[in-house]
Amino acid sequence: MSTAGDSTTETPAPASTSTNRRQPYGQGFLDTISTGWSDRPEVVPPAREQAPYAAARRDAVSAAFPGKRLVIPAGELKQRSNDTDYPFRAHSAFAHLTGWAADAEPGAVLVFEPREQAGHDVTLYFRERADRTTAEFYSDATIGEFWIGPRPALAGVASDLGISTAHIDALEHFDDDLVLDEDADLTRVVSELRLVKDEYEIAQLRHAVDVTARGFDDIVAHFDEIIAHSRGEREVEGIFHRRARSDGNAVGYDTIAASGPHACYLHWTRNDGAVVPGDLILIDAGVEVDSLYTADITRTFPVNGTFNPVQRKVYEAVREAADAAFAAARPGVTFRSVHDAAMRVIAERVAEWGLLPVTPEEALSADAGGHHRRYMVHGTSHHLGIDVHDCAQARRDLYYDGLLEPGMVFTIEPGLYFQIDDTTVPAEYRGIGVRIEDDVLMGIDGPVNLSADIPRTADEIEAWMARGK
């Protein structure tokens, strides 16, 4: 031990042999590092806006598992390479049940401890800030505040989130408990809990859509620069990412900036191609705001500002399919009916263009059909929320076969994709990929397109690009 005035600091162990970058601390540093700091006031904020909503969600989980101890970890930092980590994002269920979002601490754990009578005592465990008299303050680059900045205090988080808190060291071993991702029932319940959004969640999704719209405006305003760069797709990605970081937390998923034939690859995230006039570029992007709720929007643009006749025909067919899906979405209808409505339009149009060996009705046959799916292999909709593909572990009879209810938020995203080497279509179609994706709130009286203000018809897209220049 080394004494410095009234403060004490532990001398750290010798430098680890796992790295040659760590240098030993001199005695002068050890004798003085704990002194000369002004007092740091403990801030106890009022409960944040989402605190009562998170409390109601915890009550629902507690009611679903009487007498069970539940453990829901936030997750740990994940190594990217050597001594660098990926940016931390808490597990979605943890964030949903605590209200701790972009500012959540790695290694935090939410524990539901059953009471003898009924219900649970719920405690949030995490590593509290390190006192400056400890070696952790300066010697640990992962958690030391000298390296990563101040960590939150127990009392502050308790007030902020409206939840009991305790130091992570007080948490007993929990490997044999009911832990999220290790227990199918718990994973299902917390997923199904998000099927119908509360008022706070809907407001956050509206916010995410608004920021995403600004990101698309940024892209449109910089098309000349995008075209000029040899990897213009990456320029698109970077322009959108700047908006996501400046006005939100991050992107909600890897941006798809797919130009020319790349637009036919559904999850093209390599984004290393040129953006060439005469081609289309499909941009699928969404901003995740600080609450971790994300938008998921796709628009397809003619790079030179004007659709050619074949591109316009394909684009407007996709829009027609999207409009049909939107019209089919009503409270009380099955989620799958939205997809069915879009696929009927897709089958009718590709048959009309002579691309099917059968009639639309034959293609739409559940058993013997599917010919049209060659050109749209994905589904038309998925739930949206704190995950871009939200509620993914919900039971099928509540999701795909379930009924639409007010408060549900989902995408409508039909597309048509004619791969560059697909000899089943005429040459003028090859290399054309189009998707239009909107985020939709199911209201009491019907669907509300949250992204309706983002141009979506062919004429609107062309006008948008002209304004951008």
| Region of residue 238 (phi > 0: left; psi between -120 and 50: alpha; otherwise: beta) | alpha
Residue 15 has pLDDT above 50, yes or no: no
321-331 pLDDT, tens digit each:
999 999 999 99
> Do 373 and 440 contact (CB within 8 A), yes or no?
no
- Range(s) of the chain covered by CATH 3.40.350.10: 51-192
Determine whether 292 is exposed, middle or buried from the number of CB atoms within 10 Å of its CB (0-12, 13-18, 19+): buried
Q: CA dist 180 to 66, 104, 137, 168, 420, Å?
A: 16, 17, 31, 18, 43
pLDDT recorded at residue 240: 98
Residue 12 has pLDDT above 80, yes or no: no
Residue 428 has pLDDT above 90, yes or no: yes
3-state class percentages of the chain: helix first, strand second, coil last, to nearest 5:
35, 15, 50
Q: Is the dihedral of CA 390, 399, 206, 345 positive or negative?
A: positive
**Number of other CB atoms surrounding residue 448 within 10 Å:** 15
pLDDT recorded at residue 19: 60
By three-state DSSP, how is residue 124 classified?
strand
Least confident of 11-15, 360-364, 412-416, 440-444: 11-15
CATH fold of 51-192: Creatine Amidinohydrolase; Chain A, domain 1 (3.40.350)
Residue 294 has pLDDT above 90, yes or no: yes
Residue 334 has pLDDT above 50, yes or no: yes
Residue 8 has pLDDT above 50, yes or no: no
DSSP string, 403-464: BP-TT-EEEE--EEEE-TT-TTS-GGGTTEEEE-BEEEEE-SSSEEETTTTS--SHHHHHHH
Question: Which among 36, 148, 24 has a CA at the least distance from the CA of 11?
Answer: 24
pLDDT recorded at residue 452: 98
For residue 334, give the DSSP letter.
B
pLDDT band at 18, cuts 50/70/90? low
By three-state DSSP, how is residue 226 classified?
helix
Least confident of 11-20, 26-35, 170-179, 283-292: 11-20
**Which regions of 313-426 does DSSP assign to beta strands (E)?**
409-412, 415-418
Q: How far apart are CA 227 and CA 224, in angstroms?
A: 5
Domain 199-468 belongs in CATH node 3.30.70.3000: no
> Do 57 and 193 contact (CB within 8 A), yes or no?
yes
Q: What is the mean pLDDT of residues 237-243?
A: 98
Question: Which among 121, 189, 129, 176 has a CA at the least distance from the CA of 156?
Answer: 129
- Range(s) of the chain covered by CATH 3.90.230.10: 199-468
Residue 258 has pLDDT above 90, yes or no: yes
pLDDT band at 228, cuts 50/70/90? very high
pLDDT band at 5, cuts 50/70/90? very low
For residue 256, give the DSSP letter.
E
The rounded percent of the chain whose pLDDT value lies above 70 is 94
Tokens linked to 246: 């400046």
pLDDT recorded at residue 9: 39
Residue 124 has pLDDT above 50, yes or no: yes
